[in-house]
Structures are given as structure tokens and as C-alpha cells.
Structure 1
Amino acid sequence: MTAMTTARVPIPANGVDYRGKIVLAPMVRSGELPSRLLALKYGADLVWGPETVDRALIGTSRRVNPRNGIIEFTRGQGSIIYRIDPVREKGKLVFQIGTASPELAVEAAKLVAADVNGIDVNSGCPKPFSTSGGMGAALLRTPDKLVSILTALVDEVGKPFQIGISVKIRILETPEETKALVSRLVKTGITGLTVHCRTTPMRPRERAIRDQLRMVADVCHEAGVACVMNGDVTTRNEGLELMKEYGVDGAMIATSAEANSSCFRPEGGLLPWKDVVHAYLRICMETENRFGNTKYLLNMLIPSKEFHHSKSSKSYYDFCHVLGFDDLVPAALQVDEIMNLTHKSIFKNSAASQNQEPEGVDLSLPSQPTKQAVAV
């Protein structure tokens, strides 16, 4: 029986169907709000937020930033744990949770359920910060616990909030082991399953293994569950081709989106890095993104041979100045004031106090030749 003729698990009223979608993968730091909005701008159909551990979310308060309308989940003196754009992410956001407990998963998921379109359980992350607590890929070794988590989320969060529950896994060592696991997971009431085509010990530099992919898709389809592939998908067009080749319903892009989010463009072809960086910086300032996270992502979006021009930047004004984004300078000055970055600026403060550019810092734009580049 094919996926077209199999009865599908119903998609809840506030949920989203993963079928036919090219989506942004959940990535720690690289999946924060500005990165998600950038992916959506260039054509991503859905976006996954970064894995958020249940205990980190429990105890937070929900507030709306009055300046930009962003929903913020905060704790303590305003430490922001998670942010959502209720306009641009409406109908497109899947919240990924890190958990090893049905009870904690439900408690945490209920806090965000009304603002997202799906809850996805991370059972594929191989990093110690996740597996050491029995979360992430560690759940692949405790299938009973994983089943209980998914079942609890479906019954206590998915049904009352009318959103879908899904899971992201990795392939196991043998097709038989993977099939046995997937066969159990698709019976829990989930609407989607993403399979990362690498085993737990494998790292991103190792080529994805797709030998088990069609089998996983078949098991999902027999249960009416959408199957999304992950691993070495680099562009929207490549994802669509792989979906046809392996019979899966959707494709997830990770590292390629970190380098250039225009990989989601339906028309194909990557935009110049400077165009993407301009769009990213604008979004970061609109959303008042934490500066450290902005700089981290810019380090990936800007080619390494060019990033040394921006390495000394300590404020949004600095970035706009160095990159030549004069049109963004007014917004940069404003957001620097809001985020208490003005006094940290390398370029603005030095120019104001000394009426000259700071010594030892290369202010030339990346597109302009210089006599001597700053060493990094």
C-alpha cells in the first residue's frame, strides 16, 4: 500500500502537516529566532527551534516584548530561555524538547503549546550535554521510556492543544533494530517522524547513510505518519529530489542553512553572502537578538577570509560600520541603546573620543582591497 492510499494520522487543527515540506533543522545556537526568520524569509516551509531542555523551560514566565511583539519565555531577572515571533512564525514553528521524563516533558510542553504548531522530541542528539541526562540519542537505548514520553505528550498536550507531536531519531546499527524502534514509535499517535541518516557515533563530516531510509518511510506510511529525512540535504531542490528518490515526505536542512539560508529559495541558487548577512542583521536588530548569538552566526555566514574585518565588533553599530550597511545604522544605534551595547562599541566610541579610527583595527570593507589585513 502506498503513502497516497494509506489512511493518515489526522493533523490537529492547530498543527502542521510535514508532508511536502523543506524545513530548517533544530540546531543549538543556530536555531534561535533570527535564524528561523531568515530561513522562512528565503522559503523554508517550517522551522524547528533549538532543543530546549524541559527543566530549563519549567518555571519560566511568558511575556510579550512591547517594542517588537516577540513572545519571550524568561526566568529570574529576565534571562530569556525561548523566543517566538507570533506573526512571522505563525503556522510554521515546531518546538523541540529535550527530555527524559514523561511528566517533565508534559509540564514543559504545556507552557509553549498555545504558541507553537508542534512539539518534537529530540531523541537523536549525540552531544554529552543531552545524552548525559538520558535525553537525545540516549533515548534510542531506552525505547520504553521514549514511547511513554511520546504517548504522554500526545494525550496530555497534543490533544488538548490540538497540535501535532513528533520525534526525531537516528538510524540504529542494523535495519532490523531501526525497524523495530520505528514500528513502536509510530503507534504512539505522533503525526511525524524525522530520521537523521547517521548512527549515534557518527559526526556531521561523515557521509549520511541512506540505506535504511526507504524502509523507515514505509513503516511510517503504513501507520499514516509523515516521514522526514535529515542528513546531507543542502538545498530545497536537492531535498525535493531526495524525497522522490527515497519515498519520504519531507526533507530537513541543517549545516547548509547555517552557511547560507538562501539554500531554501524555490528558484534555486545561493545569494551572495553579503545580501544574506544584511538580511540577517536586520532581523537580529528587529528582534533584539542577544549580541553573542548574532556574532556566532555571522562567523558562519561571513566567509572566513572576510570575517576578520568584523571580529573586533562589540555592538550592532560596529557590524554595520565595518560591513558598510549604512542603511541599518539608525536601527543599530537604537538597538545598541536598548541592549546596553553603546558603551562597548569599538568604532563609535573611539571615533567620538579621539576623532580617529582605533589603532590596530582594519576598518576597510570586505569588498575593498587593503594594504595589510589584520591577523587572526
Structure 2
Amino acid sequence: MPRAGERAVSLPPHHMLNTFSDINVCAPMVRYSKLPFRALVARYDTHITTTPMMLATEFSRNQQARNADFSTNDEERGLFALVPQNRHTPVQIRGALVCQFAASAPTPLADAAELVSPYVDGIDLNCGCPQPWAYAEHIGSFLLRQPETVRDMIRAVKARLGEGYCVSVKIRVDAESHHTDTLVRNALHAGASYITIHGRTRHQASASHPVDLDAVRFAVDTANACGIQTARGTSPGDAWAYAEDGGGGGFAPCIVNGDIWTREDAIEYRAKTGARGAMSARGLLANPALFSGHTRTPKEAVGYFTERSIAWGLPVAHLQYVSSDALTTVGILRTCSRKASQAGQNPSTLILW
């Protein structure tokens, strides 16, 4: 927490990644990475959080879709004491929120990005969702071999929001590495602020295929070889006041994603791949406090999640918590479930396992 009288610094995600080591990121997760869960993981050293993937076309043209898919407030971003590279004194940093969209054409993505941009710190384009329905709609992993389309969508958002606005892409690796090389180069030369790399192909299931860190390293090396630099102090909300490099920034950073279940995994994967950040999905669902070094979900995390969900009017009528200490928390959960029902919430289930 900031010291008395000290104001937290706001940085867009790509400058946060370039300025500090060991940045932790919550992945976009359908149904799960909504406001209460993002607020929860931000309490446990998750510096950047991401909304679930939203369809840009529906978001841009439908108020009901916007109301249903996106919500935020001033409480959800965490506050962190982080030490910049080559310095010894920590700086109080405000966490960042990224909104992820799926799109297949530039204009709907730019429209959606413009609507949500005042409330988030960056826009992410999903280029990795492996679901067959997404591929059939020419979104998600379909874009892995459509580098020109990705280029055009990034340029459209930059043209609408300004060159300094944080726009990233999340990809999967390709079995044929030259496709990864082409996609990364097109994205960065179009102005992508950072790249998140899931170390599996679109045909590989997370449950049955281990993450390929060598493939992630290849993508990171490709990004570095582009030589793209991002200047600090140019993005909306970028309050960075000092930098030893004169504000020149650094190479467009990368984030490694896949099979991060512990803080030690995050540290190891960053070291092995050269990525600046580590993103977790299933690991955070299993243990929202993993980046803080907890080996299992703290009991207070369950209560916080439920209380915030109720307070913010979000549907949590039934919460099931499955872990090694589930028996000791069942009474708490029943109480939370009763409170949610009494508050008139709609039926819903979240399983943390």
C-alpha cells in the first residue's frame, strides 16, 4: 500500500513490463476473469488483469452486451511496491486492467476499443482461442495464419485511440515456426505494444499437452529481433516521471502463458523464455494467491470473493470450493451462499480447484 501522502504511479501494461521484473498477469478466462475474480487476484501480487474475451462486433453495437460483458470499478486494481530495474527504492504502482476482444475485421474492433478505452489500461486482440466455433467465425486461433488481418486490426485501433495507447495480441505458437515468426513481426511492426504467447498450438489441449517453452522462446527472440522500442511517457495515464534510459523504453515485451501453477513456475518460465511477464489461467483458478507464494487458496480469499460479488451485484448464489482444506471452509461457504440468496442473486456456480 502507498505510504501516507504518496501517490501511486499509473503505467500502461507494456511500460510496466519493461520497467519491472517479475510481472504477473491474470489470463482472460470465459466466465471467470470478471470483476470480483480480478479484484481478488490483484490482492495477491497479480499486477495486470484481463477481462474475459468479448466479441467486438456485439460489444460495439449492443448496449445490452456491453452491460452484460464488462464492469469495473476503482477498487479492483491492486497497489504494489515494485523496484524498477537498476534501482533499489520501490515505487508504488497501480495495477493495470486489459480488455480482450475477439474480432475478424478492423472497424468493429476499433469501435469496441474506443467505447471501452476510458475504463481500461489496454486492449488485447485474441489470436489464440482454439474453440471450433471461434475458428469457424474467423476469430481467435484462425488469425494465427492471417498476419495481414492482425496487422490491419492493430493499425485500426492505434489510428482510433492514438499511437501511444496500449494494444497487445495474445497468440498460440504454431507447429510451423515460420508462421509464428511472420505473425509476431507483423503485429509489432503494426504497433503492437506487447505479445502474450501461449506455448501450445491450437490443436493441443491444455490438459494433455505440456507447454512448449522452446516455442515460446522462439517467439520472444523474434520479437526482440524486430528491434521495436516503446517510449515511456507517451501513453494515456502513463505517469512515469523518471527513467535512466531517458524514457526510451525497451523492446516490445512478451508474456509467457501456460502451465503456471506456482510462483516458482512463473519465475522459471520467465527465465527460460526471456519473457518479461508470466500469465496464469488454470493456476489462478486453482489458487488465486499463487503469485504471492501461497501453496493453496487462503480461506480469507473465498470470503472476499463472495462478499465483493454480492456487494457489486454480481451473480453468486452458490460457491463451491474444492481444495485440501475444503472441510474447514464449508461452513463459511454455506453462509456466503445464504447471503447471496438473500441478496436476490441469480443462480451461478464458481468452482475453484
TM-score for the superposition, normalised by structure 1: 0.70
Conservation of the 8 A alpha-carbon contact between 2:26 and 2:49: yes
RMSD: 2.8
1:115 equivalent to 2:119? Answer yes
Q: Who is 1:164 aligned against? A: 166
1:58-97 equivalences under 5 Å are 58-61=60-63, 74=64, 80-89=68-77, 91-97=95-101
Tell me by how many angstroms 1:119 deviates.
0.1
Per-residue deviation, residues 103-156 of structure 1 (Å, max 9, x unmatched):
000011111001000000000000123222100001112221111111111221
Which residue number in structure 2 is paired with residue 229 of structure 1?
Answer: 256
Q: Percent identity?
A: 25
- Measured after TM superposition, the shift of residue 181 of structure 1 is 2.0
What is aligned with 1:284? 309
Unaligned runs of 5+ in 1: 1-12, 62-73, 310-319, 345-376
* Counterpart AA for 1:247: G
- Report the Cα offset of residue 337 of structure 1: 5.1
Counterpart-to-counterpart distance in 2, 1:14 and 1:229: 20
Q: Secondary structure at the match of 1:83?
A: coil
Map of 2:44 onto structure 1: 42
Q: How does 1:165-184 map to 2 (within 5 A)?
A: 165-184=167-186
TM-score (norm 2): 0.75
Q: Does structure 2 conserve the Cα–Cα contact (< 8 Å) formed by 1:51 and 1:97?
A: yes
Q: CA deviation at 1:58?
A: 1.7
Output the CA distance in 2 between the equivalents of 1:39 and 1:133. 32
Query: Within 5 Å, which residues of 2 pair with 1:166-245?
Result: 166-205=168-207, 206-221=209-224, 222-223=227-228, 224-245=251-272
Query: Structure 2 vs 1, CA of residues 133 and 278 (structure 1 numbering), >3 Å: closer, same or farther?
Result: same
User: In structure 1, what is the equivalent of residue 323 of structure 2?
Assistant: 303
The one-letter code matched in structure 2 to 1:277 is: V
Structure 2: 5+ residue stretches without partners: 1-9, 78-93, 229-250, 348-353
2:102 aligned residue = 98
The structural deviation recorded for 1:87 is 3.3
Larger radius of gyration: 1
Provide the C-alpha distance between the structure 2 equivalents of 1:40 and 1:304, rounded to a whole number of angstroms: 23
Deviation (angstroms), 1:176: 2.5
Aligned to 2:55: 53
Is 2:316 aligned against 1:339? no
Structure 1 212/279 Cα, relative in aligned 2: closer, same or farther at 3 Å?
A: same
Instruction: Indicate which of 323, 329, 332 corresponds to 1:324.
Output: 332
